[in-house]
Amino acid sequence: MTDPRSDRRRPADARDRHWYIDKFFEILMFLCGISAILFVVGIFLFVFREGLGFILQDMNFSEFFFSPKWRPTSLVRPTYGILAMVAGTAAVTVLAMAICLPVSIGAAIYIAEFAKGRTRETLKILIEFLAAIPSVVWGFIALSIMNPLIIDLFDAPMGLGVLNSALILALMAAPIVTSLAEDAFKAVPDTYREAAEALGATRWQAIRQVVLPAARNGLLSAGLLGVGRAFGETMAILMSSGHSINIPTSIFDSFRALTATIAAELGETAVGSPHYRALFAIGIFLFLITFLINMAADFIVRGVRKG
Amino acid sequence: MFEATSVNHHNDRVQKQVKILFGIMLALLIIPMVVIVATLLIKGSPIVNLSFIFEDPKDGMTAGGIFPALLGTIWLVAVSLLASVPLGVAAAIYLSEYAPDNLLTRLIHLATINLAGVPSIVHALFGVGAFVVFFRFGTSILAASLTLAIMTLPVVIVSSWEALQSVPRSFREACWNMGATRWQTIWHVVLPNAITGILTGVILQVSRAAGETAPIMFTGAAMFLPFLPNSVFDQTMALALHLFVVATQVPNVPESLPFGVALVLVGIVLLMNSVAIWIRLRLRRKKKW
Amino acid sequence: MVDPRIQVRNLSIAYGNRRVLEDVTLDVHANEILGIIGPANSGKTSFLNAINRMDKMRPDMRITGSILINGIDTRAWRNLYALRRRIGVVFPLPVGLPLTVYDNVALAPRLAGTAGSREDLDERVERCLRRAALWDEVKDRLHHLGSLLSGGQQQRLTIARALSQSPEILMLDEFSIAVDPVTTMRIEEALKTLKTEMTIILVTNLVQQAHRLADRTAFFLNGALVEVGVTEPMFHGQTRDPRTSDYIEGKFG
């Protein structure tokens, strides 16, 4: 029996216009899909390309990592030490996380476990708004609101420094940590809570003994991403740190961050000069650190899902 | 029996205290935001009026309006959207509709996470190294917008992916069984049903791109320009950078001026986010399936 | 003289590591209704998906063995979309695409580029809706959303949609699961008429439905074809395998 629609010149399974259009878009979508990989590799390559000359020619490894002296414009002998900036960045990140993590996780517990219905939605929207405030506005708040406040409250000589930056960073990282922590709590099945409550545990006992341990990896990952966020922040730190090169010894000390150094100096350097390349070398360092943090955070979450 | 009740009383009390404690922590996040917005409103609103929006800066940026910066931000955001929306939606389509569960897909996922996690100043360095220097776009709207586009790409990818995933799988199966090609199914059935969700992501991206400063500082935004941009190869002023400049770089600025700029910037950003949230809530309420 | 429209040879299907159908060999003749019965999870739906070569759309689905349609091995088909256009499918639960009644039926011809003129398409939509016994109920609201119809009407709409490309083969997967008895009867009547024009594979969870409609019946159990034969004798105890008569008599299910 022959197929009524078959045509001698055109076999039934011939590839038609639709087939070719489909193939074309499949390839196009694939290329767009892998673009994210190309961009990450591209970022690395281009930043590396500009920074490599510095690493090969001008950089003294021990000076770069262990000297606190960043004097790229010195006419006598320029030095490129990032120790003070690493110390400043580290100090402010640690302090910011010490403030941000407990508060964010507490807030996440409230939203995930206690708040209900409309209240919960409203709270989440407010947290979303907090996340939307741009970095440069946070920097402006640090200058115009926090600075005088810190001077008044603590009788400090200056309000810009570790404390100011840490408070701003804590508020900036809080929304992302809160929403990731909330996700981690939501990922814990309700049956766990019900089982605990069936044994007579209160909500809080259920949270402390069942939900928190089960969400541990999710929380760790949220914390890591918060660290990555704080570590890579630029404008807000530039404006809130005081920007003096100095290993901070108190929370009121001014300091300078790696990111802020690039932001403040890149505009004043000649393309291709050692100073310009040194800033890109800092960029490589920042890229690698945040890359590792993001990978670790993802790995921790994935590890749980597989188990 | 009696002992059990007293334990229960104790537990209930702890429960209440704990709930209050966490409520306070939440308040520690929300109160500062309310205070910030209120302060910006109180100190900035007296200066924000039509002439502030539509006038050029005057007297070495210590007076006048913000028009060139506002217009520049619109330029930057618009050009960056032209690049990132098609690319991001297409990438999301690949991940949602085509990608098999293999190593490459995992790498795309990791790359998206990293793209979102790389510090904005590193994106700026990339923009300088790639677009300004290597591709010879110079410091221009084009270079700055492309930098912004790559930086905000993960926002579109993730939100579009979520929107595509929310379209029931049965729609796709029904179409495939009719002999529709994968692309026809995507174009005629999946995308029309995901478009509102994708739009939400695009609006959030606008909000994000409008507020970024570091990536545009060295790639195309200028502190002050006496003229408006005519093409994507011109430099431009930008609202976010303008706030940085009037807050830190210009002497003798009246206090209200930076507050006004910050108010406009935050106003735009929060308005965008509100619109996105409104669409999302509406969408959730009236799902067609 | 039998005309084997579909020839299935040593077909096995797996999703990932889970094997759902093992070594099925079976013919479907032109212009017959082949009933497929069997308990849940015995591989019936997967069998239909294999004929439609859905393994190409699902990364985890694997097929071994061969399926010949009109004597051509589907593995050698260069354009599987053209193959699927010749096969209409109806699912257990109606999938109302968020389109109007008219557009639901017109979608497939439009996508395939065979819609023709407006009049041709109008005529085709009407014909399909009539054959699915739905025309009288929806002719006044062709441009309302299909999802606003009742469950039974929606299922007939999906049948009209499956007919919209004049398929040679119509596959129905437990179509009456979410449909009232009256609608079920109307659809069954429609199928009896349709088989003069096409080959129908009817997967059903209702043994009596196979009895009423099928010319031949295949019994699937735990991923294997137990037997296939002419329906009438089978339902009168003439089975090769005792499990078949046990199932038909409702001793397990």
Mean pLDDT of B86-115: 94
Span C1-86+205-253 CATH architecture = 3-Layer(aba) Sandwich (3.40)
- Per-residue pLDDT tens for A193-216? 889 888 888 888 889 888 999 999
Chain A window 257-276: which residues touch B at a Cβ cutoff of 8 Å? 259, 262-263, 266-267, 271
Q: Beta-carbon neighbour count of residue B248 at 10 Å? A: 16
- Per-residue pLDDT tens for B161-216? 999 999 999 999 999 999 999 999 999 999 999 999 999 999 999 999 999 999 99
User: Cβ of C3 and A1 within 8 Å?
Assistant: yes
How far apart (Å, rounded) are the C-alpha atoms in residues B111 and B217?
A: 25
Domain-located, residue B129: yes
Total count of domains within chain B? 1
Domain-located, residue B181: yes
Q: Provide the phi-psi class of C225: left if phi over 0, else alpha when psi is between -120 and 50, else beta.
A: beta
Statement: residue B275 has pLDDT above 90: yes
AA letter at C80: L
How far apart (Å, rounded) are the C-alpha atoms in residues B188 and B178?
A: 13
Task: Tell me what pLDDT residue C1 has.
Answer: 53
pLDDT digit string (tens) for chain A, length 307 residues? 344 454 556 787 888 899 999 999 999 999 999 999 999 999 999 999 999 989 988 888 899 999 999 999 888 889 999 999 999 999 999 999 999 999 999 999 999 989 988 899 999 999 999 999 999 999 999 999 999 999 999 998 899 999 999 999 999 999 999 999 999 999 999 898 889 888 888 888 889 888 999 999 999 999 999 999 999 999 999 999 998 998 999 999 999 999 999 999 998 899 889 999 999 999 999 999 999 999 999 988 886 544 3
How far apart (Å, rounded) are the C-alpha atoms in residues A183 and A221?
A: 11
Statement: residue B288 has pLDDT above 60: no
Q: What end-to-end distance do the CA atoms of chain B give, in Å?
A: 53
User: Cβ of A18 and C76 within 8 Å?
Assistant: no
Which of C193, C233, C191 lies closest to C216 in space, CA to CA?
C233
Q: Give the mean pLDDT of chain C.
A: 92
Chain A window 226-245: which residues touch B at a Cβ cutoff of 8 Å? 228-229, 231-235, 239
Share of chain B above pLDDT 90, in %: 83
How many residue contacts between A and B have a Cβ separation below 8 Å? 270
Residue C100, beta-bridge partner list: C145
- Per-residue pLDDT tens for C157-166? 999 999 999 9
- Per-residue pLDDT tens for C198-211? 999 999 989 999 99
Domain that holds residue B136: 68-285
Mean pLDDT of B40-65: 92
In the three-class reduction of DSSP (H, G, I as helix; E, B as strand; rest coil), residue C142 is classed as coil
Q: Which of C54, C60, C108 sits opposite B180 (nearest CB)?
A: C108
Write the secondary structure of chain A as one string of H (helix), E (strand) and C (coil).
Answer: CCCCCCECCECCCCCCHHHHHHHHHHHHHHHHHCHHHHHHHHHHHHHHHHHHHHHHHHCCHHHHHHCCCEECCCCCCCEECCHHHHHHHHHHHHHHHHHHHHHHHHHHHHHHHHCCHHHHHHHHHHHHHHHHCCHHHHHHHHHHHHHHHHHHHHCCCCCCCHHHHHHHHHHHHHHHHHHHHHHHHHCCCHHHHHHHHHCCCCHHHHHHHHHHHHCHHHHHHHHHHHHHHHHHCCHHHHHHCECCCCCCCCCCCCECCHHHHHHHHHHHCCCCCHHHHHHHHHHHHHHHHHHHHHHHHHHHHHHHHHC
Which of B102, B217, B239 lies closest to B148 in space, CA to CA?
B217
Task: Tell me what pLDDT residue B286 has.
Answer: 66
Write the secondary structure of C150-183 as one string of H (helix), E (strand) and C (coil).
Answer: CHHHHHHHHHHHHHCCCCCEEEEECCCCCCCHHH
Alpha helix ranges (H) inside B99-140? 103-117, 120-127
Statement: residue B146 has pLDDT above 80: yes
Q: Give the mean pLDDT of chain A.
A: 91
Q: Provide the phi-psi class of C43: left if phi over 0, else alpha when psi is between -120 and 50, else beta.
A: left
pLDDT band of residue B232 (cuts 50, 70, 90) is very high
As a whole number of Å, the CA-based R_g of chain B is: 24
- What are the structural domains of chain A? 17-71 (no CATH), 84-306 (1.10.3720.10)
Element (H, E) at C19: strand C18-29
Q: Provide the phi-psi class of C70: left if phi over 0, else alpha when psi is between -120 and 50, else beta.
A: left
Q: Beta-carbon neighbour count of residue B56 at 10 Å? A: 16
Element (H, E) at C102: helix C101-112
Take residue B110 and report the two structure tokens written for it: 């990791």
pLDDT band of residue B14 (cuts 50, 70, 90) is confident
Task: Tell me what pLDDT residue B289 has.
Answer: 47
How far apart (Å, rounded) are the C-alpha atoms in residues A205 and A212?
A: 10
Q: Is B178 on the interface with C (CB under 8 A)?
A: yes
| Structural domain boundaries in chain C | 1-86+205-253
- Per-residue pLDDT tens for C124-170? 999 999 999 999 999 999 999 998 899 899 999 999 999 999 999 99
Identify the chains in contact with C, defined as 3+ C-beta pairs within 8 A: A, B
How far apart (Å, rounded) are the C-alpha atoms in residues A111 and A106?
A: 9
Strands C4-15 and C18-29, sheet pairing: antiparallel
Q: Give the mean pLDDT of chain B.
A: 92
Which of A275, A244, A227 lies closest to A95 in space, CA to CA?
A227
CATH number for position B228: 1.10.3720.10
Q: Is C154 on the interface with B (CB under 8 A)?
A: no
Q: How far is CA A40 from CA A47, B108, B115, in A?
A: 11, 10, 6
In the three-class reduction of DSSP (H, G, I as helix; E, B as strand; rest coil), residue C241 is classed as coil
Share of chain C above pLDDT 70, in %: 99
AA letter at C141: R
Identify the chains in contact with A, defined as 3+ C-beta pairs within 8 A: B, C
Exposure string of A21-33, with b = 16+ CB inside 10 Å and e = fewer, is ebeebbeebbebb
ipTM of the complex: 0.92
Mean pLDDT of C32-37: 96
Place of tokens 């046990």: C246
Share of chain C above pLDDT 90, in %: 78
Q: Are A245 and A256 in contact (CB under 8 A)?
A: yes
Take residue C112 and report the two structure tokens written for it: 């395939």
Domain-located, residue B122: yes
Partners of A19 on chain C (C-beta within 8 Å) are 78-79, 81-82
Residue of A nearest to B125 (CA): A47
Place of tokens 């949230």: B277
Task: Tell me what pLDDT residue A165 has.
Answer: 97
Domain-located, residue B124: yes
B181 by Cβ neighbours in 10 Å (0-12 / 13-18 / 19+) ranks as: buried
Partners of A170 on chain B (C-beta within 8 Å) are none
How far apart (Å, rounded) are the C-alpha atoms in residues C161 and C124?
A: 11
Query: Which one-letter DSSP state was computed for residue C95?
Result: -
Exposure string of A262-281, with b = 16+ CB inside 10 Å and e = fewer, is bbbbbeebeeeebbbbbbbb
Residue A10, beta-bridge partner list: A7
Q: Are C148 and C176 in contact (CB under 8 A)?
A: no
